[in-house]
Amino acid sequence: MRTILGLPDYLVPYDMMAVGYPAEDPIPKELRDIADMVHYDACGPADFRTPEKLEADRQRFTEWCVRAH
C-alpha cells in the first residue's frame, strides 16, 4: 500500500471507522482544506505533512479526542 500511495517512510497508514450514534453533540473539529488532501494523478513529497506537522496535529487531535470523550 505504501508504494501504491507513494507514502514516505515516516507515515504509518491505518484505518479507523466509528459506527453508531453519538451520546452527545460532538465538539467541532478543525478540518484541513480539501485541496491539501486530494491529489489527482500524482503527488510528491511537498504534498505530505512533515514529521513535525504530523506530531503537532497528533497532539491537537489527541487533546480534541480526550475533551470529546
pLDDT in tens, 15-30: 756 788 877 787 777 7
CA-to-CA dists, residue 3 to 7, 8, 50, angstroms: 7, 9, 18
pLDDT of residue 68: 56
Q: In angstroms, rounded to a whole number, what is the distance separating the alpha carbons of residues 47 and 39?
A: 8
Domain range for 6: 1-11+34-69
Phi, psi of 61 (to 5 degrees): -65, -40
18 assigned to some structural domain: no
Domains of the chain: total? 1
User: pLDDT tens, 44-68?
Assistant: 888 888 999 999 989 988 887 777 5
16 assigned to some structural domain: no
Exposure letters 32-59 (e unless 16+ CB within 10 A, then b):
eeeeeeeeeeeeeeeebeeeeeeeeeee
